[in-house]
Structure 1
């Protein structure tokens, strides 16, 4: 916890907060001493002038304490909020550059929890440390010293009271700490179920699983609530017990103090000051106990945040990229790949190549490795064996930035961001002009339903149909000036006519004629006119060639054609 805080917390605000906190404590300890003098030297002797002067003195000290406390709160708030800001930035930056393997280790829901709830726990403990954790021991030591000065005999009460209070706090924390640690994992579970319910709401309604999902969420919610009730019930016991101890201590001080006053060994003002210092000592112990309640939870959050920040980058890259060819090209040489901890290879011995102006079609059954293959092009994963070359260079000889600038991908699931059409298209190129955006929309056949670039796009593109979202995603990819364009089954929601027009527009565009196009498709008609067609089956490349070559000699390709002819999904 302290390791990740040390590098990100603004130290100027921290030291300033500590300075004003020390001033606040000194003033707070000094005020009971003034009260004692007012009673002993002013009230008992009837000296009105002394009471007024001492009263003004007390007001001045109180105002100074208020100002110091305010500045302490201000600076500690700045320190904790800046820590939270930097932690969120660092986590988000780390997540953006994680490989898919690293991302899958933690999971989306857990990452959301760590970026929000866990960071808030770190902010809270920072605030409490700068306001209470440092204040409590100083206050306790200072109040003990001042109380001893007022009456050494009465301080013996604390020899009995403090151990009892410490034991009670220790027992409560012993039972509460494990439950606090469980709360973060249960928060992850709650977020996971809630997030699945939100993203899958249409499927839930379509299959009328509303009741089942409500029960599943209720179970996760009840589990979290039950744990929270237990831990906060345990913590709630602390307040009445400590109140009882403090009340008993005040009774003992009053009883013994009255005895000393009757014996004329103690003044009334000293007894009042002593009771105030006793309260400060006990409150200091209470503040420390509150810190010990928050620290375990923050420590658990710190460990979870550090797990993300300490993830080692599995994809190594050079400092600078090697010189690339002027012409676009893509090639796979004996490429095999296995997902992390998977028992068998997901891709085996894949070989193909394409030059500038050529297109590659990839086809195969569900789970054959099509999406896995194109994920290797952008280096979302590294192959286990073999070499992938982009523009004549091994992709491992390029920086991740340079590689991904050369590749433009349309993912299998079309993702659009809330805003307008222009903002979504310029995601591919921030400097793209309106003419360039309209050109991309025209190629993607999206100009049919887009009236203006300022047209609103709802979250996830919910105001567009599946086919319209795909065409906008394709247009966004075309806006980017890349050498290789990858379409991961991104024509699946298009009708045959639109599919054909879009592919023809890609062929006719002079700029696209200088690029390499990779199309993953389920329909033969989508990839039939590709220069190279790769046929995959359970991760193995069982065919590579043109449509005519595979149609004549490849059994799997013939089987796909036959099945789609029967279904009427291949043009006559």
Structure 2
């Protein structure tokens, strides 16, 4: 937990918070002593002037305590909120730069919980430490010393009371800490079920699984709620017990103190001051107990956040990276005996993949579901790293390029069309911040998206909902293609990005790609399920169970490759007969 705070909190703000906290404690510890003086020297002797003088001192210390407490709260809040802000920034930066292998290690719902709820737990504990824990510790030491000075005989009461409190707090921690730790994993589960229900609401309704999903959520919610109730019951039970111990302590102090006063071994004012110090000692002990109960939950949160930071990427970068070249033409892409295996997978998803592509060529990838098409293209921008063999760009191993430079040379259209909330212009500028409206409209024209964009009177300033939910599937797909085309890249990768398009739009879009001057000087890689989408590619790779079982042109594969013939039969010939 302290490791996370290092470098993320201003040391001067923390020192300032501690300084004002100590000032507040000093002021508070002086008040009982002044009360004792008023009673012993003012009230007993009837000296009104003395009462006024000491009373004004008490007022001064009270004002000092209020000012110091205000400054301490302000600085403590500032330090802890800054820590939370920096943690969220660092987690987000880490997540944005993760490799796909790292993404697979932590669930999305858990990542959200770690960025929000876990960070809040750490914030809360740090503000409690700067505000309550240190104050309780200093006050406990100071009040104990001053109480002993007032009457060392009465301090023996604490030799009985404090062990009782210690045993009770120990029992409290034994039952409460596991419950607090479990809160985070139960929050993960609740978020996961709720997120799945939100994102899959259409599927749930289509299959009439409303009640099943409601039962799932209710089960997770009840589990979380019951755990929270148990925690609150334990905490609620602690307060009356501690109050009873404090009240018993006060009774014992008054009982024995009265005897000391009766024997003239103690003054009345000193007894009043001792009772106040006793209350401060017990209150400090109680505050420390509450902080120590909260620390294990924050420690569990800190461990979960540290797990994110400890995720190590296998995508190492060369110490002297090759300079990337986004200039058009003269680029080459080569796969040499490439194998790839997902983490913890029993067998490779790609085995001995070999092919070459040059600027101006279109490479088509086709094969059955699970044949490794998407895994193969993910190796091009190094979203994953090869397990064996080598992927080269312009004759250099991809590992020799800086990740940022390499991915700057590749424009990628993912299988799932994703748009971001905002305006259409903002989405189109995602790959090129300084793109002009002319460049954007040109890309929309190629992607066959300009017609429906122009129909909206707001044009490029039209509003885009989260995930592009205000567009149809085909429209989203064309817009994501246009976004990729706005970016000037050496390699364009389309991961089954034409699946939601009708055959006519598919054909017109691919012809527009061929006719565009820039695209004719780039390497185009197209993953498709339909033969028609890749039929006119310069080179078609046929994948089956992670292996390239054939490569060539459409005419060549049609005559000689059995897997390709089977795909043709399933899509064309049998369809014609139907």
Q: Which of the five TM-score ranges fits, normalised by the shorter chain?
A: over 0.9
1:398 aligned to which of 393, 398, 401: 401
**What do the CA deviations read for 1:396-443 (whole angstroms, capped 9, x no partner)?**
111111110000100000010011100000001111011111111110
2:254 counterpart residue number: 254
What pairs up with 1:251-400 in 2 under 5 angstroms?
Answer: 251-323=251-323, 327-400=330-403
CA distance in 1, matches of 2:355, 2:284: 73
Q: Cα offset for 1:319? A: 3.2
CA distance in 2, matches of 1:314, 1:108: 20
1:485 aligned to which of 480, 492, 501: 492
- In structure 2, runs of 5+ residues without a counterpart are none
| Contact 2:36–2:269 (8 Å) recurs in 1 | yes
1:231 counterpart residue number: 231
**What do the CA deviations read for 1:89-141 (whole angstroms, capped 9, x no partner)?**
11111111111111111121111111111111110110011011111121011
User: Residue 352 of structure 2: SS of its match in structure 1?
Assistant: strand
1:428 counterpart residue number: 431
What pairs up with 1:53-132 in 2 under 5 angstroms?
Answer: 53-132=53-132
| Contact 1:335–1:350 (8 Å) recurs in 2 | yes
- In structure 1, runs of 5+ residues without a counterpart are none
2:198 counterpart residue number: 198
Q: How many residues align?
A: 570
| Contact 2:331–2:490 (8 Å) recurs in 1 | yes
| Contact 1:76–1:131 (8 Å) recurs in 2 | yes
Q: Cα offset for 1:312? A: 1.6
TM-score w.r.t. structure 2 length? Answer: 0.97
Q: Cα offset for 1:568? A: 4.0
**What do the CA deviations read for 1:279-320 (whole angstroms, capped 9, x no partner)?**
000001001101111100001011111111111221111134
CA RMSD for the aligned pairs? 1.2
TM-score w.r.t. structure 1 length? Answer: 0.98
| Contact 2:341–2:387 (8 Å) recurs in 1 | yes
2:217 counterpart residue number: 217
1:522 aligned to which of 512, 526, 529: 529
> Does residue 450 of structure 1 match 2:453?
yes
User: Residue 118 of structure 1: SS of its match in structure 2?
Assistant: helix
| Contact 2:496–2:528 (8 Å) recurs in 1 | yes
User: Residue 351 of structure 2: SS of its match in structure 1?
Assistant: strand
1:147 counterpart residue number: 147
Instruction: Between 285-294 and 306-315, report the one with greater CA deviation.
Output: 306-315
Q: Cα offset for 1:176? A: 1.3
| Contact 1:24–1:68 (8 Å) recurs in 2 | yes
| Contact 2:324–2:406 (8 Å) recurs in 1 | no
In 2 relative to 1, CA 4–324 (structure 1 residues): closer, same or farther, beyond 3 Å?
closer
What pairs up with 1:403-414 in 2 under 5 angstroms?
Answer: 403-414=406-417
User: Residue 461 of structure 2: SS of its match in structure 1?
Assistant: coil
**What do the CA deviations read for 1:227-254 (whole angstroms, capped 9, x no partner)?**
2222222222211110000000011111
Instruction: Between 106-115 and 524-533, report the one with greater CA deviation.
Output: 106-115
| Contact 1:321–1:402 (8 Å) recurs in 2 | no
| Contact 2:324–2:405 (8 Å) recurs in 1 | no
Q: Cα offset for 1:6? A: 2.0
